[in-house]
Amino acid sequence: MADTVSSGLDRVLARVRRLPGAQHWRRCVVPACALGVCALLLLVLQHLSQTVDYRSVVVQLCHLSAPEWAGALGATAVSYVALVGRDAVGLRYVGATVPRIPLWVGATVGSALGNVTGFGALTGGAVRCRVYGVAGVTPVQVGQMTVFTSVTLALALALMTAAGMLASAGTLSGMIGLAPGTLRMIGAAVLAGFAVLIVACRATPTRVQLTQRFSLTFTVPARRDLIAQLALAVADVVAASVALWTLLPHGGAHVGFGQFLTVYAAAMLLGLIGHTPGGVGVFEAAMVCVLGASVPTPQMLAALLAYRAIYFGVPLVLSAGVLAAFEGRAQQAARASALAQRGAKSVSQLAPLFLAICTFVVGSMLVISGATPAFSKRIAILQTVLPLWVMESSQMLASLFGVLLLFVARGLLRRLDAAWWLALMIAALNLGLSLAKGLAFVETGVLCVLIVLLIATRERFNRHSSLFAERFTPGWLASVGMVIALAVWIFLFAFRDVEYSHHLWWQFAFDERAPRALRATLGASLFAAALACWQLLRPAAGRFEKPAEGDLIEAAGVVRAQERSDAVLAMMGDKSFLFSESRNAFLMYAKRGRTWAALHDPVGPRSEWPALIQRFVALAHAHGGRAAFYQVRADALPLYLDAGLTLMKLGEEAHIALPAFELKGSHRAHLRYALKRGERDGFSIEVIEAARVPDALPVLREISDAWLASRVAREKSFSVAAFTASYLAAQSVMLLRQHGEPLAFVTFMTTDLNTEATVGVMRHLPGASPYAMEYLFTQLALHLKSAGFGSLSLGVAPLSGMRPTPLASPWHRGAALAWRFGGWFYNFRGLRGFKDKFQPRWEPRYLAASGSMSVFLTLADLSRLAGGARS
């Protein structure tokens, strides 16, 4: 019977998983539940704070003494020492050992991040995998250790709550809603269960298999490990509770420590079950609800806020210092030991995760700060030095920048360089805004810490991609929504005594703090909603996908059947294909950011070009992108104009008319000299046909690698020929030897029609004669002429032929200036001068792209495409 029910349940679950959109709905359920829990918590806090005003809480915070702050800091330090001990016991449980420094770093930094985010098993586990992995601890062992410590923490909280049920049943009765006698019975039963559990454990770990069907097994810890872990967890909780206890009025004289500890453990257990970040909301509601009769609510809320700042904020800041120190150590790793090198590198690689969390927290701080009133005394000081419009705009801009940081944090998590630059600029701008809106010194200090962290970890953000190229996950948008909801609630709480009126929106004065906060909160909410809606409603950006093997074969057939030899670049395999309906023609394209870039004109029968061009433009626009056709020829420009694209000249392509190419005459003297000099230097050439290229690849690769290393460069792509085995196999090679030793080579692309050839990959060894490439190209032209080819393309000279005219466009004028004075950045004239030696015919090449000003963004994306970037 049980097997029948189980198999039926499996079939039902399988059908649910196959339902359309089931995966999408699963991704949305957790964020929706989180938003629901957030709304419920805010309603509870609204009910609990009915008799409290914002100013009384702030006053209580300001009245906390230095000894109280110091006591809370000391208790926090003891708690984190216990956390280190818990990790040590957990590592012993999984049979692993870690040196002292990685143990302290992994335990403290992992716990700090896990406490702030509320996903300790994920963020804290990621930290421990990095740090403990240096000592050979596997991710599986870290996962087992995390489960062990998490379960034992819950058991310790249950143990402390059970003990409290016996000692303080009356206090817990109001919190749980059960009679004191019932609570005592439950507590006694739980304690008896713990005794049985400890007795049942053996002296050594024991593996237990739960079910035969699913082979679910777990390891029962040794008795000493369980007792040690429970004792350390109790010490951790007691120390954390002392951190809050010392912040209560008069050392918590209104409530005994035993009762307080019981309530604290139960509230922490509820927060653990609620799984909010650090139990926020659930923990506070439980503490206020139970202790509200013993401790005045304003004092309780002030103590809770200070506790959050000390127990959660201070470790996060100290962890930031640890991360910055390891980042600096990683940059000096050459002088450290092998273990220290691995440790520094491993910890510093946590920078994206850490900076993303810190940036999100700072963004939340800015949004919430904009919803709260500034101190009157500080406003009075600013009133004497700043005009009103500066203060008004500062609070609004700071809130908007805070919202932007909430979204930028995801880009930092993905290691995007654009996100790093934007986060740095926003943090730097907010330094002035935080002071101008109300002399927010704490806020300024936090921003300074973020700036230092960003600068220290710059090398970790090296991905060149658009910040908003990928959609934000529902979970991230839900997190942003919770921050905005909290800011709105805090605004309503802070200005509860201000009667709402439509006139508030238009009141501008130094002492009008409510209207200023109202406008800033509304602006932040609308800005966040606009960004979220844009993310949800914008079309899918699309992804670059390498062509399938079958598409490459079909494209090769089309390329061989036509005369344009530069179409062989399709065989590099780094571009996607868009085929015509007949599949007799295609476009090769790649994607970078919002730019969908097709290389050259379509390949195949010209009659199919117009439809292909229109389809490609529609495809790019359907994904919210910009269509671009790179290096198109002049005779096809009407097709691109008909498609509504903007034209821009890029440069000129050099074509040698091979039937007329000869070495006679004064204008060929330099070529004749290159040949004679080459013969004197022992040059000789060898033509390697496509069939023999695979055998010559090792020799060619050695030359190519040496050439790349001498220029500290990497392979290009898209419009620039690259050294790949599959691409070289589709063309022939001319190899240059000096005294029999390979010195340089050039590949040349041809089609079956043998009417046109195009130069492909060109490489030479460092230190080669300056006449080597000139000799090689001259011999190539002579060889192709004798083979009956009509033309040899030497490639495009960028910005060539860009001459300023009275009616020239701004781009044309700028390109002409770059051609004239840009030699420091790129040798434009030198490249043109080398090709001019062969007296070529110069043909213009153009860019056809969507938009007008966005064309410049397209050019930037095309540059990245040539450098190998894809998105």
Residue-wise pLDDT for 400-457, tens only, equals 999 999 988 888 888 788 888 899 999 999 998 888 888 888 889 889 988 988 888 7
The 3-state DSSP class for residue 760 equals strand
Residue 116 sits in the same domain as residue 246: yes
Position 603 in a domain:
no
Question: Can you tell me the mean pLDDT for 371-396?
Answer: 85
- Strand pairing category for 206-211 and 595-599: unpaired
- Strand pairing category for 626-633 and 841-849: antiparallel
In this prediction, residue 17 carries a pLDDT of 45
Q: How far apart are CA 621 and CA 776, in angstroms?
A: 45
Q: How far apart are CA 32 and CA 700, in angstroms?
A: 58
Residue 321 sits in the same domain as residue 389: no
Residue 698 has pLDDT above 80, yes or no: yes
In this prediction, residue 121 carries a pLDDT of 44
Position 586 in a domain:
no
**CA 159, chain centre distance (Å):** 41
Question: Can you tell me the mean pLDDT for 384-399?
Answer: 88
- More confident position, 133 or 783: 783
Position 69 in a domain:
yes
737: tokens are 């030897």
Please say whether the beta carbons of 169 and 188 come within 8 A: no
Chain segment 75-123, per-residue pLDDT in tens: 999 998 998 888 888 888 888 888 888 888 888 887 877 776 655 444 5
> Chain-wide mean pLDDT for the chain?
79
Position 791 in a domain:
yes
Strands (E) in 634-752, as ranges, are 646-657, 683-688, 732-738, 741-749
Please say whether the beta carbons of 406 and 535 come within 8 A: no
Can you give the C-alpha Rg of the chain in angstroms? 35
Residue 308 sits in the same domain as residue 393: no
Question: Can you tell me the mean pLDDT for 378-405?
Answer: 88
Give the whole-number percent of the chain exceeding pLDDT 70: 78
Sign of CA dihedral 375, 377, 380, 382: negative
What are the backbone angles phi and psi of residue 632, rounded to the nearest 5°? -85, 160
- More confident position, 280 or 714: 714
Residue 301 has pLDDT above 90, yes or no: no
Sign of CA dihedral 40, 41, 42, 44: positive
> Which amino acid would we find at residue 540?
A
| pLDDT band for position 734 (cuts 50, 70, 90) | very high
Question: Can you tell me the mean pLDDT for 386-391?
Answer: 86
Number of domains in the chain: 3
Give me the domain span that covers residue 490.
Answer: 383-538
680: tokens are 């004197």
Between the alpha carbon of residue 729 and those of residues 550, 621, 689, 697, the distances in Å are 17, 36, 9, 9
DSSP letter (8 states) at residue 657: E
312's CB contacts (< 8 A; 6+ apart) are: 112, 115, 116, 278
Residue 667 sits in the same domain as residue 735: yes
671's CB contacts (< 8 A; 6+ apart) are: 663, 774, 778, 837, 838
Of 472, 507, 538, at which residue does a domain stop?
Answer: 538
Residue 409 sits in the same domain as residue 317: no
Residue 371 has pLDDT above 80, yes or no: yes
Please say whether the beta carbons of 742 and 705 come within 8 A: no
Question: Can you tell me the mean pLDDT for 194-200?
Answer: 76
**CA 584, chain centre distance (Å):** 41
- More confident position, 341 or 552: 552
In this prediction, residue 4 carries a pLDDT of 36
Position 495 in a domain:
yes
Residue 147 sits in the same domain as residue 246: yes
Please say whether the beta carbons of 859 and 580 come within 8 A: no
Please say whether the beta carbons of 541 and 624 come within 8 A: yes
Angle value at C-alpha 44, between 39 and 45, nearest 5 degrees: 95
In this prediction, residue 46 carries a pLDDT of 67
* 100-117 vs 338-348: helix crossing angle, rounded to 10: 0
Position 493 in a domain:
yes
Which of 584-588, 605-609, 812-816 has the least mean pLDDT? Answer: 812-816
Of the segments 1-5, 159-163, 410-414, 653-657, which one has the largest average pLDDT value?
653-657
In this prediction, residue 467 carries a pLDDT of 63
Residue 12 has pLDDT above 50, yes or no: no
Q: How far apart are CA 57 and CA 299, in angstroms?
A: 7
Chain segment 267-294, per-residue pLDDT in tens: 777 766 655 555 666 677 777 777 766 7
Please say whether the beta carbons of 560 and 749 come within 8 A: no
Of 538, 560, 588, at which residue does a domain stop?
Answer: 538
Q: How far apart are CA 797 and CA 635, in angstroms?
A: 19
Q: How far apart are CA 812 and CA 345, in angstroms?
A: 47
Q: Mind giving me the DSSP string for 677-704?
A: HHHHTTEEEEEE-GGGHHHHHHHHHHHH
Position 331 in a domain:
no
Q: Mind giving me the DSSP string for 546-587?
A: PPPHHHHHHHHHHHHTSS-GGGGGGGGS-SEEEE-TTSS-EE
Nearest to 756 by CA among 623, 832, 856, 658: 658
> Which amino acid would we find at residue 437?
K
Angle value at C-alpha 130, between 125 and 136, nearest 5 degrees: 105
Residue 182 sits in the same domain as residue 67: yes
What are the backbone angles phi and psi of residue 364, rounded to the nearest 5°? -60, -40
Residue 216 sits in the same domain as residue 296: yes
Position 850 in a domain:
no
Q: Mind giving me the DSSP string for 284-295?
A: HHHHHHHHTTTS
β-sheet with 586-592: strand ranges across: 576-579, 586-592, 595-599, 626-633, 841-849, 646-657, 791-798, 756-764, 741-749, 732-738, 683-688
Chain segment 547-598, per-residue pLDDT in tens: 888 888 899 999 999 989 999 998 888 888 999 989 999 999 988 878 889 9
Residue 573 Rama label (left phi>0; alpha psi -120 to 50; beta):
left
Q: How far apart are CA 520 and CA 527, in angstroms?
A: 10
Between the alpha carbon of residue 869 and those of residues 462, 468, 625, 862, the distances in Å are 12, 16, 17, 9
- More confident position, 337 or 312: 312
Per this entry, what is the length of the chain? 871
Residue 820 has pLDDT above 50, yes or no: no
Question: Can you tell me the mean pLDDT for 848-858?
Answer: 77
* 772-786 vs 669-680: helix crossing angle, rounded to 10: 110
- More confident position, 16 or 552: 552
DSSP letter (8 states) at residue 469: S
Chain segment 109-122, per-residue pLDDT in tens: 878 777 766 554 44
Largest CA distance in the chain: 115
440: tokens are 């927010």
In this prediction, residue 47 carries a pLDDT of 66
Of the segments 24-28, 529-533, 544-548, 576-580, which one has the largest average pLDDT value?
576-580
Residue 16: CB atoms within 10 A of its CB come to 11
| pLDDT band for position 542 (cuts 50, 70, 90) | low
Question: Can you tell me the mean pLDDT for 147-151?
Answer: 83
Hunting for tokens 């695979």 — which residue is that?
A: 694
Residue 821 has pLDDT above 50, yes or no: no
* 257-274 vs 139-167: helix crossing angle, rounded to 10: 140
Which parts of 168-256 fold into alpha helices (H)?
A: 169-176, 180-200, 223-245
Residue 106 sits in the same domain as residue 183: yes
828: tokens are 């434009």
Residue 666 has pLDDT above 90, yes or no: no
616: tokens are 């490609």
DSSP letter (8 states) at residue 826: -
Residue 753 sits in the same domain as residue 834: yes
Residue 419 sits in the same domain as residue 296: no
Residue 319 sits in the same domain as residue 425: no
In this prediction, residue 738 carries a pLDDT of 93
In this prediction, residue 19 carries a pLDDT of 44
Of 487, 513, 538, at which residue does a domain stop?
Answer: 538
**CA 481, chain centre distance (Å):** 20
| pLDDT band for position 526 (cuts 50, 70, 90) | very high
In this prediction, residue 120 carries a pLDDT of 45
